[in-house]
A and B are shown apart, each in its own frame.
Chain A
Amino acid sequence: MTMFEEKQPAVSMEKMEWMYEQMVKIRYYEDQMAEAYMEGKTPVFNIGAGTVPGEMHLATGQEPAAVGICVHLTKDDTVTAPHRPHHHAIAKGVDLKKMTAEIFGKETGLGKGKGGHMHLFDPEVKFSCGGIVGAGIPHAVGAAMTSKMKGKDWVAVAFIGEGAANAGAFHESLNLAAVWNLPLIVVVEDNSYGISVAKKASTSVESNDLRASAYGIAGAYVKDNDPIAMYKAAEEAVARARNGQGPTIIEIETYRYLGHFQGDPELYRDQTEVPGLRQLDPLNKLRKMLAESENISEADLETMEKRAKQEVDEAYQFARDSSYPDPESALKDVFHP
């Protein structure tokens, strides 16, 4: 049952549905977060005020990168993510309630309110993220090392932005992973900007998969923010890693619909850019593709959408209903007892 052109190998319906539902969930999650973030920040915006204070980097539009590879992963595979981590966390199966509670600064959160949106840790599904650009890549190298040392077929995926590919950690980590032939995949999400700096002003090559040749490893490029193409590139990379054939760099062309962070005046980009990108929305495209298939009805799609949104709504409700931590708990967890 293939719905694609002949030249494209089939992606199972089940996997397509999974990806679609996750993308719906991510999109809805980020939309809800954008709203929650503004609570208590009007009429005067103050980054430190409101229900969800601090910096907020949303991934609306960048869903394909996360779902296209996580569809191939299990609980035993590791994911490290950067400062823009919600799509990766959701696709990797991070506990949505605890994640949301963490972002709301509640005691029921993944880090008991100590970490916040950029610092989510869910060891149950081997997920972590952080606020220092490039820093997650070597952690994924370490996870890949562990897999090899223990004789497992676990893989480690480091998600980064295209801006992070110019950090020393990127180059050192890939060389190391190549020398040690580790099951590492670095997914570079090219959303055209590192904050305000355009990719072409910061990067010496057209795309970062080209840099794979510098480390003697495989590279793949996915254009048009296409979840299906991402699925295929990731399928190959994951198989390569699981079979002991070493690391891969996948770069995907993706879209950042929102500012670098919420509240970004975005004076560095043309106002027509985002509306143009939204025309190409991958979520709409995938929905259309699924709707056209014989195996799935409109009602099926609606059921999936409803289920995804309900899970998100429940997570937000859980976060809102939870209590703030006891102030003195700030002193705990520096060390294990």
Chain B
Amino acid sequence: METAKKRMLTGNKAMAEAISQEMERDSNVFVLGEDIGKYGGIFGSTQGLIEKFGPERVLDTPISETAFIGAAIGAAAEGMRPIAELMFVDFFGVCMDQIYNHMAKIPYMSGGNVKLPMVLMTAVGGGYRDAGQHSQTLYAAFAHMPGMKVVAPSNPYDLKGMMVSAIRDDNPVVFMFHKSLQGLGWMEQLDVAVDNVPEESYTVPLNKAKVVREGKDVTIVGIQMMTHYAVEAAERLAKDGIEAEVIDLRSLAPIDKGTIIESVKKTHRLLVVDEDYLSYGMTAEVSAIVAEEAFFEMEAPISRLAIPDVPIPYSGVLEDFVIPGPNKIYEQVKKMMDEA
């Protein structure tokens, strides 16, 4: 039996390690964004980089998102491999033109003749009372628009492996990391934000969902925090004799239809859980995929849980009411099973 001690890293350190190793491997890789130098990124994803690589490759920018994200596009077109950090995804409003009209479309409109090998990394998620302009995930807003790979890893192992893949990918990748899963000392301490992360470099594909808990009675599809909440709910459901299969979507675009379809063919029931707005969102996309490709496999109507089409409110009682959690998932599955 191998008893070697596991190497445990928080989400933010796993990300920083991926970036650091890629910067060592490829001199074209550099990072730019607000407070990513001495501060190490507000959510710690660039910790230690400036000390190692200096301010020439780790650039603190002014509060000028259009300029520095646009500059990342321009540099990528010249063969560099920039990683730009948009501090909170909510700030996309001031720079979305660069992102969706340029980063996402130039490769296509050039007939494939221009490559933009860049990563736009950004913090997502709520639950810590930061209100409507700092708590969104906006998964679907990005995944809706063609031309960007959009990923949202949910644990340190995947954060590292998917960051390495994102940097090496020749396409623009929007890399969403969840604030609560960074393992930061000043946020709620979650066990799932610390994980075994090997030191040597490795990759995790950008187009594969993962079954994180096997079950035969119902499939729950989640992403980032919702995956963890689904696992929590599944443990409780198991005590009631219900075995839920939980899928961590990991990648929003492209979306891994195969893993979802295979699972519902086994369980015949589906609940999709999202920390984004309900309408026109990921829950609708997954439901539509199943309705199109496995309709006759289903034994109960598909069910969805997401933010009920309101901005994220500040007050704790309100925020907890709108963001799905383990209880709501548990109750929803119970209801689905009772109805069947």
Instruction: Spell out A's residues near B (CB within 8 Å).
Output: 44-49, 53-55, 102, 105-106, 111, 113-116, 118-119, 130-135, 163-164, 166-169, 194-197, 201-203, 263, 267-268, 324-325, 327-331, 334
Contacts and interface: CB of A to CB of B under 8 A. Distances in A.
Given A47-B187, A48-B127, A119 B314 contact: yes
Given A48-B188, A118-B133, A131-B134, A163 B63 contact: yes
Secondary structure class of chain A's binding surface, majority of residues: loop
A197 B62 contact: yes
Nearest to B314: A116
Contacts of A116: 129-131, 314-315
B38 A196 contact: yes
Contact of A47 (B63, B133, B186, B313): B186
A326 B316 CA distance: 11
Given A263-B186, A268-B39, A328-B321, A334 B310 contact: yes
Nearest to A201: B60
A55 B128 CA distance: 9
24 contacts: A44-B189, A47-B129, A53-B128, A113-B318, A114-B313, A114-B318, A116-B131, A116-B315, A119-B133, A132-B90, A132-B91, A163-B62, A166-B64, A168-B94, A194-B63, A195-B34, A196-B35, A196-B60, A197-B60, A325-B317, A330-B318, A330-B319, A331-B308, A334-B311
B195 interface: no
B94 A134 contact: yes
B62 A325 contact: no
B63 A105 contact: no
B66 interface: yes
B42 interface: yes
Contacts of B42: 195
B128 A54 contact: yes
A325 B66 contact: no
A48 B321 CA distance: 15
Contacts of A134: 63, 94
A330 B314 contact: no
Nearest to A52: B129
Interface of B: 34-35, 37-39, 42, 60-67, 90-91, 93-94, 127-134, 185-189, 308-311, 313-322
Closest 10 CB pairs of A and B: A116-B314, A105-B315, A48-B128, A113-B315, A53-B129, A166-B62, A54-B129, A202-B62, A327-B321, A196-B39
Contact of A330 (B35, B64, B130, B313): B313
Contacts of B63: 133-134, 163-164, 166-167, 194, 202
Given A195-B35, A334-B309, A132 B93 contact: yes
A162 to B, nearest CB: 10
A15 B304 CA distance: 59
A86 B34 CA distance: 24
A46 B187 contact: yes
B81 to A, nearest CB: 24
B130 to A, nearest CB: 5
Contacts of B94: 132, 134-135, 167-169
Nearest to B308: A331
B128 to A, nearest CB: 3
Contacts of A330: 308, 310, 313, 318-319, 321-322
A48 B129 contact: yes
Nearest to A161: B63
Contacts of B185: 45
A119 B131 CA distance: 8
Contacts of A324: 315-317
B315 A325 contact: yes
B251 to A, nearest CB: 28
B187 A48 contact: yes
A17 B187 CA distance: 42
A331 B318 CA distance: 9
A113 B133 contact: no
Contacts of B134: 55, 118, 131
A214 B129 CA distance: 40
Contacts of A49: 188
B314 A113 contact: yes
A316 to B, nearest CB: 17
A173 to B, nearest CB: 13
Contact of B314 (A114, A263, A329): A114
A43 to B, nearest CB: 12
Nearest to B132: A119
Contacts of A135: 94
Contacts of B61: 197, 202
A327 B186 contact: no
A49 B128 CA distance: 7
A121 to B, nearest CB: 12
Contacts of A46: 128, 186-189
Contact of A54 (B35, B131, B310): B131
Contacts of A114: 131-132, 311, 313-315, 318
A133 B131 CA distance: 15
Nearest to A103: B314
Contacts of B133: 118-119, 130-132
Contacts of A166: 62-64
A105 B316 contact: yes
Contacts of A195: 34-35, 39, 42
B60 A105 contact: no
A131 B131 contact: yes
Contacts of A118: 131, 133-134
Nearest to B187: A47
A268 B308 CA distance: 40
Given A113-B313, A114-B131, A169-B94, 17 more contacts: A45-B185, A48-B187, A115-B131, A118-B134, A134-B63, A134-B94, A166-B64, A168-B94, A194-B34, A196-B60, A203-B62, A263-B186, A268-B38, A330-B322, A331-B308, A331-B310, A334-B309
A98 to B, nearest CB: 14
Contacts of A196: 35, 37-39, 60
A327 B318 contact: yes
Contacts of A47: 128-129, 186-187
B93 A327 contact: no
